[in-house]
Structure 1
Amino acid sequence: MTGLQDIADRGLVLLGCGKMGSAMLAGWLDRGVPPEAVHVIEPAPSDWLRGSGVGIGGDLPERPAVLLVAVKPQMMEEALPGAAGFGGGGTLVISVAAGTPLARFEAAFGPGTPVVRAMPNTPAAVGRGITAIVGNAAAGAGHLDLAEALLKAVGQVVRLEGEGQMDAVTAVSGSGPAYVFHLIETLAAAGEAEGLSPELAMALARATVGGAGQLAEDAAEDPGQLRRNVTSPNGTTQAALEVLMDAESGFPALLRRAVHAAAERSRELGRG
């Protein structure tokens, strides 16, 4: 992993170790980051964290290679002042906190501090996440490479052209898993309405969405072609798609409204 030796020598501080922090930490340890190089600040450590071999609380390295901020946005005001001493340029600050702009971290850690803002999503818990990253002016190519290497421990990583894209990313991939989970819920409920048992309807919905997602990611064809491949003229799929693809009430209009609402809320959170 790029930057592994620097982390092994200087350490990594993880501020917050809930579900996302734990997923990342498990990925780092699997990829060879020495447990003794990781120092976690977490007021309520899980049993898994206690048994992971990493340092919890106690003395922290003075100038770690990375400080990764994984606390919830509403806890930021309480958490950041205690970590402000890591600012000044010697430590790369990476944030996975939703709705918290780069400027907030620059104000907390001071000028010259390299900061990378990242937006992962919950499939990171099974190593299938996707994370978008963007750096501030002080974050050079090496800092972005290190952030990407760390975040690849839980899935794919993409780089943004600018921080202005982060609200749209939040609305598509950050919040997107919830849209898919709701699709599973509603698809199963529709199956029940057609006479299936709840257990069978849910099993069919889960496997269908999971399998179709894997096919969409692995196939050479784009999703539009995959859709056409399974749609026979005047068949059952076409009958359903005529409802789902309706310009006024179908998926296109509904998802545009949903994603826009999420993006707008992300902008509001960023303004504080």
Structure 2
Amino acid sequence: MPTINEDQGIMTKRLKDFQGRMLLVGCGNMAGAMLDRWLASGLGADRVAIVDPLAAPREGVVQFASLAEWCAAGGGADWIMLGMKPQQLGEVAGDLADVVTGDTHLLSILAGVSLADLAARFPAAKAQVRILPNLAARIGAGVSAVASSGEADMAAVTALLDPLGTIVALADDSTMDLVTAFTGSGPAFVFRLIESYAAAGERLGLSAEDALKLATATFGGATALLADSGEKPGTLIAQVASKGGTTQAGLDVLDSDGQLAALLTNVLRAARDRGRELAEIARGEG
């Protein structure tokens, strides 16, 4: 059953259907957000281990400075998630060579590293599962795109990702570099838009505090309304804007010469292309 998270006032889905033992190789901002959500959703801390000397400690979760240290401690895991930098894949793959077996689900949130790359590095794995989450997973409001190869237990994968928010299953990972830019990097782009919107309000006379509060509430309310209504954005725009009114005056600037659409296309293209460059580096080609 879902429970209320009192600190955040949102529903938390329980991890009742996931029974694996997990190792996180790398536990930075994104992997850490996922882990914190899993722990809050009922994943036993004694069923998780972290290999990351810099990760923030979690109560009850055993943490190691290196894979060698984890192995020396007799570590075992049937689910291993790669959450380090993509450039470290070659080094990590060597260290994990004897650990990944035919019973291992290998999960990866590494930007640019394809299922084919994972299969080449970890051919013994039962399955390779590529996940593209975003930071809103921290509060269960994220989106996770997922694609897999091998004999993946997708019921268990779904149970694992469900507490993080919306799951989008992809037929393959051919569009994952774009999804990485679109939803993985997307929160940062939205935060920048809110920051810039607030800065514009401040330049025109609002206090910095009021501008940020109003901008945050405006963006939050608009996206919540869009999600709840089931309407297209254009339909809701028409409900706000009237001919010759204030809203239309602002929209005329936003829509001028298609500059906004062109700007956002360039933003996504740059992020997508960087993902491809990281993939080349991870394969030792860059």
Shorter-chain TM band: 0.7 to 0.9
Q: Which runs of 5+ in 1 are unaligned?
A: none
Task: Give how far 1:241 is off.
Answer: 0.7
Asked whether 1:193 is paired with 2:193, we answer no
The match for 2:4 is: none
1:257 corresponds in structure 2 to 266
The counterpart of 1:215, out of the listed 225, 240, 245, is 225
When the two chains are superposed, the root-mean-square deviation of aligned CA atoms in Å is 2.0
Q: Does 1:139 align with 2:148?
A: no
> In the alignment, is residue 239 of structure 1 matched against residue 246 of structure 2?
no
Give the Cα–Cα distance (whole angstroms) in 2 for the partners of residues 118 and 139 of structure 1. Answer: 16
Q: Name the counterpart of 1:104.
A: 117
1:122-173 alpha-carbon deviations (Å, 9 max, x no partner) = 222222111101112x134x2x332222122222111112211101101211
Cα distance change of structure 1 residues 248 and 28 upon mapping to structure 2, 3 Å threshold: closer
> 2:48 & 2:195 partners in 1: Cα distance?
39
Which structure: greater helix fraction? 1
Q: 1:79 to 1:12 in 2, by over 3 A?
A: same
1:56 is aligned, of 56, 60, 63, to 63
Identity %: 39
- The answer for the alignment partner of 1:266 in structure 2 is 275
Secondary structure at the aligned position of 1:151 is classed as helix
TM-score of the superposed pair, with normalisation by structure 1: 0.87
Structure 2 equivalent of residue 229 of structure 1: 239
3-state SS in 1 of match to 2:54: coil
Q: What residue is the counterpart of 1:4 in the other structure?
A: 18
> Which one-letter code corresponds to 1:69 in the other structure?
L
Runs of 4+, deviation exceeding 4 Å: none
Using the alignment, how far apart are the partners of 1:246 and 1:147 within structure 2?
A: 44
Alpha-carbon offset, residue 268 of structure 1: 2.5
Q: 1:131 to 1:44 in 2, by over 3 A?
A: same
What is the CA–CA distance in structure 2 between the aligned matches of 1:4 and 1:112, rounded to whole Å?
19
- Structure with bigger RCO (C-alpha 8 Å, 6+ apart): 2
Contact 2:134 2:142 in 1 (8 A): yes
Normalized against structure 2, the TM-score is what? 0.83
Match of 1:91 among 90, 104, 110: 104
Q: Alpha-carbon deviation of 1:222?
A: 2.2
What is the SS of the residue equivalent to 2:98?
helix
